[in-house]
Amino acid sequence: MGITFGTSGWRAIIADEFTMSNVRLVTRAIASVLGEETAGGGVIIGYDTRFLSERFAAECAGELARLGFDAYLTTRDTPTPTISYVIRTKKARGGINFTASHNPPQYNGMKLSTADGAPALPEVTQKVEQRIADILSGRASFNPQERDAQPVMIDPVEDYLNDLATKIDFGKISKAGLKLAYDPLWGTGRGYLDEVLRRHGCEVQTVHDFRDVLFGGYSPEPSERNLGEMRQLVLDKGLALGVSTDGDADRFGFIDRDGTFVSANHVLALVLDYLCESRSEWAGGVARSVATTHLLDRIAKRYGRDVYETPVGFKFIGELINEDKIILGGEESAGLTIKGHFPEKDGILACLLVVEMVSSRGASLGEMIDEIFRRDGALYCERVGIKLTPEVKERLRQRLSADPPGSIGGRKVVDVNRMDGVKYIFDDGSWLLLRMSGTEPVVRCYAESNTKKDLEVLLEKGSQFVLN
């Protein structure tokens, strides 16, 4: 199987497919494409806390410098949104971050961003894939005059944190002086989020704020399952909130003051409601992926805002940010950005927005969710992955491409959305989305309904629809 780029770049198992030689190969292919796509400007190279990430990044930066590019290499592990910031401020051609985000520790990856700081769109990554094949086959014509040059080392921490001050009301945060917990999950957020919160009057207690290339033995994802230690800290110390970022700090997770994990969908709803209230002068709508809660639609309707639905993949939301059409863009997989920020998800920004919101309103996340449910009606959304045998996979593929059934599990299908996967919308407003994985024999089943109990029923009906 060749090297392929998914929604967030190329990811592979370290020392299996992710090797120094393949890193050099992918670097040369990216250099060739960037050389055609943009004129002038350097390339920003960063990395996360995974095994050998700094070595892979140094190899990539060295290769780019030899190929005639101005290569800028970060001095320490760096969040993905910070790389996006540096690309834009240095007017770079693009950037490469060595990260596998929230994937298991045996993986690493190369995430390609373009000159706007956004994840590379499919038309760019497809060119890179083709260029890799061309290099391997000897068809490539990319043979620049190599030079004896070294990358330039950069430390973007302070500039990035200062930029956040233009988007976050740190006055509200300082006035409240909240006591918080933070779990960077051994990732790149440490020294960023905790540092800026302390500078603005918060008392922050951290867990897992050191490098562990194995991430404690599990994926560095800020999920309910992985935040048990931070949850206990919140409860034991009576803290106002627990905040977390994933391995490359582009995703978020929250533990409320009563120890409850708050889903990403509900966090997006809270932030949208807060932005419409606190930044009412901002023009624009809201963007969500096809897999994300329709609670955003209800809140947008209440405030008279447009809703933009996108395929899964933050690059599509990034395009709307670049076009200045939205005040918030979010995905159910805990990705968020706002008007005036970068076209890239930013877990640090998300955490700061929520801390500002709690500081301003003086209420818990649970209390704020109850208020939104009272105004707009309750909605609960969840996803599960269903493994498929080759026979079931082929049968499901045919079923999804056929005309929709009149009903699923006794629910009447009133609309079908084929933007990304197949989304069946039912007469009671609930919905079921089935998306086939492009890399493994799995279908992802998303569902939303107005009670937790009915959501469980709908997910079960979805599983039966897939497997039977």
The residues facing 156 across adjacent strands are none
398: Cβ contacts below 8 Å, ≥ 6 apart:
none
Pick from 91, 70, 87: which is nearest to 150 by CA? Answer: 70
Pick from 359, 361, 360, 329: which is nearest to 346 by CA? Answer: 329
Q: Which domains are assigned to the chain?
A: 10-155 (3.40.120.10), 165-376 (3.40.120.10), 380-467 (3.30.310.50)
CB 185 within 8 A of CB 226: yes
* pLDDT tens digits in sequence order for the chain, 468 residues long: 578 887 668 999 999 999 999 999 999 999 999 988 766 789 999 999 999 999 999 999 999 999 999 999 999 999 999 999 999 999 999 999 999 988 899 999 999 999 999 999 888 999 999 999 888 888 866 666 678 889 999 999 999 999 999 999 999 999 999 999 999 999 999 999 999 999 999 999 999 999 999 999 999 999 999 999 999 999 999 999 999 999 999 999 999 999 999 999 999 999 999 999 999 999 999 999 999 999 999 999 999 999 999 999 898 999 999 999 999 999 999 999 999 999 999 999 999 999 999 999 999 999 999 999 999 999 999 999 999 999 999 999 999 999 999 999 899 999 999 999 999 999 999 999 999 987 678 999 999 999 999 999 999 999 999 998
Record the pTM.
0.95
d(CA 122, CA 219): 26
Pick from 246, 303, 301: which is nearest to 279 by CA? Answer: 303
Give 65-69 contacts, CB < 8 A, sequence gap 24+.
65/147, 65/149, 65/150, 65/151, 66/146, 66/147, 66/148, 66/149, 67/28, 67/31, 67/144, 67/146, 68/144, 68/145, 68/146, 68/147, 68/149, 69/31, 69/34, 69/42, 69/43, 69/93
Tokens in use for 403? 């005309």
* Whole-number pLDDT of residue 226: 97
**Three-state SS across the chain?**
CCCCCECCEEEEEECCCECHHHHHHHHHHHHHHHHHHCCCCCEEEEECCCCCHHHHHHHHHHHHHHCCCCEEEECCCCCHHHHHHHHHHCCCCEEEEECCCCCCCCEEEEEEEECCCCECCHHHHHHHHHHHHHHHHCCCCCCCCCCCCCCEEECCHHHHHHHHCCCCCHHHHHHHCCEEEEECCCCCCCCCHHHHHHHCCCEEEECCCCCCCCHHHCCCCCCCHHHHHHHHHHHHHCCCEEEEECCCCCCEEEEECCCCEECHHHHHHHHHHHHHHHCCCCCCEEEEECCCCCHHHHHHHHHCCCEEEECCCHHHHHHHHHCCCEEEEEECCCEEEECCCCCCCCHHHHHHHHHHHHHHHCCCHHHHHHHHHHHHCCCEEEEEEEECCHHHHHHHHHHHHCCCCCEECCEEEEEEECCCCEEEEECCCCEEEEEECCCCCEEEEEEEECCHHHHHHHHHHHHHHHHC
CB 331 within 8 A of CB 134: no
* Whole-number pLDDT of residue 102: 85
